[in-house]
């Protein structure tokens, strides 16, 4: 990581040092570039089709630029490509890396409580702290796992999922709960493999939680499905479900519910969710469904 960051710093200095005086850091992975034609297309990998944005840059070399001070209303974490152009962590970071590996954008590091999220209604969808009635939002207690989103996914609020009590999507990217031991940073992009899925129903809206593990975790090779999580991370799936079920109770709200028999679905089901929500995102980007206040830039 240090070597990659140093290399990035050298490149930016050579290009005129446009980040001078700003807080920035390399976002792993910090090497390699691949690109697509200017037209959108679908990528087929092992019989699954994953859609990509027409403007997606797909460079595995990003930096994040922080604007404002953390834990203020003005704080934003923007993503920049190697030329200094702002990109969207939701729309421009690739979803699928092949061989069942996906990019995961960290919004909330484990053992923290500030409710950070991608600002889906702002240009370039930077990460910011959520607010309610003009005040910054915090969880009532720390979250115990790295938490964030799968890029290029969207839970369509016009789609009623017949398998999950007819619940409609929550109008956000799909959430990821990463169970590895390392504490990530806001804006990190980790390579993860999905292991399970929890169908949370929050005030009638479907809010998927994909349970995954970073490939750089020492136990990553040991876990490939929900049963492996129970074996090598005993109690973790239950703990995740209970955390998300109960976190609103201290604020006087009812507990969240879960579909699928209140249990975690297996890896194949998680991959199904990812495929379907990626397809929904593709329709959103093509303007086949209304975007409302969502930013598509």
Domains of the chain, each with CATH number or no CATH: 2-285 (3.90.80.10)
Q: What is the DSSP string of the chain?
A: -HHHHHHHHHHHHHTT-TTTTSEEEEESS---B----SS--EEEETTEEEE--TT---BS-EEEEEES-TTSTT-EEEEE-TTS-EE-TTTTS-SEEETTEEEEEEEE-TTEEE-EEE-TTSTT--EEE-EETTEE-EEEEEESSEEEEETT----TT-EEGGGTTEEE-SSPEEEEE--SS---TT-EEEEEEEEEEEEEETTEEEEEEEEEETTSTTGGG--SHHHHHHHSTTHHHHHHHHHHHTTGGGTPPPPEESGGGS-B-HHHHHHHHHHHHHHHHHHHTTSS--TT----
| The pLDDT value given to residue 32 | 35
Which residues have a catalytic role annotated?
139
Q: Convert the pLDDT of each residue in 134-191 to its tens digit.
A: 999 999 999 999 999 999 999 999 999 999 999 999 999 999 999 999 999 999 999 9
pLDDT below 50 — which residues of the chain?
A: 1-22, 30-47, 53-59
Please give the pLDDT value at position 62. Answer: 86
pLDDT of residue 51: 59
């Amino acid at each position: 990581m240090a070597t990659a960051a140093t290399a990035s710093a050298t490149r930016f200095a050579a290009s005129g040092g446009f980040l001078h005086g700003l807080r920035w850091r390399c976002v792993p992975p910090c090497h390699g570039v691949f690109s697509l034609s200017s037209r959108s297309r679908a990528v087929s990998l092992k019989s699954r089709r994953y859609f990509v944005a027409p403007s997606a840059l797909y460079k595995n070399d990003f930096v994040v630029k922080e604007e404002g001070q953390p834990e203020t209303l003005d704080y934003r974490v923007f993503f920049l490509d190697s030329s200094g152009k702002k990109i969207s962590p939701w729309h421009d970071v690739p979803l699928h890396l092949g061989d069942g590996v996906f990019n995961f954008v960290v919004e909330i590091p484990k053992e923290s409580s500030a409710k950070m999220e991608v600002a889906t209604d702002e240009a370039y969808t930077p990460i910011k702290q959520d607010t309610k009635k003009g005040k910054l939002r915090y969880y009532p207690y720390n979250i115990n796992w790295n938490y964030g989103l799968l890029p290029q996914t969207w839970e369509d609020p016009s789609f009623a999922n017949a398998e999950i009590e007819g619940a409609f999507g929550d109008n956000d990217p799909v959430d990821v709960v990463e169970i590895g031991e390392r504490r990530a940073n806001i804006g990190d992009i980790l390579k993860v493999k999905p292991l399970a899925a929890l169908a949370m129903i929050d005030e009638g809206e479907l809010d998927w939680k994909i349970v995954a593990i970073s490939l750089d975790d020492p136990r990553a090779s040991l876990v490939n499905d929900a049963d492996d999580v129970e074996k090598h991370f005993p109690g973790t799936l239950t703990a995740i479900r209970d955390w998300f079920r109960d976190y609103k109770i201290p604020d006087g709200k009812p507990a969240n519910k879960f579909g699928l028999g209140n249990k975690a679905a297996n890896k194949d089901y998680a991959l199904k969710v990812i495929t379907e929500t990626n397809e929904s995102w593709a329709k959103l980007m093509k303007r086949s469904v209304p975007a409302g206040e969502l930013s598509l830039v």
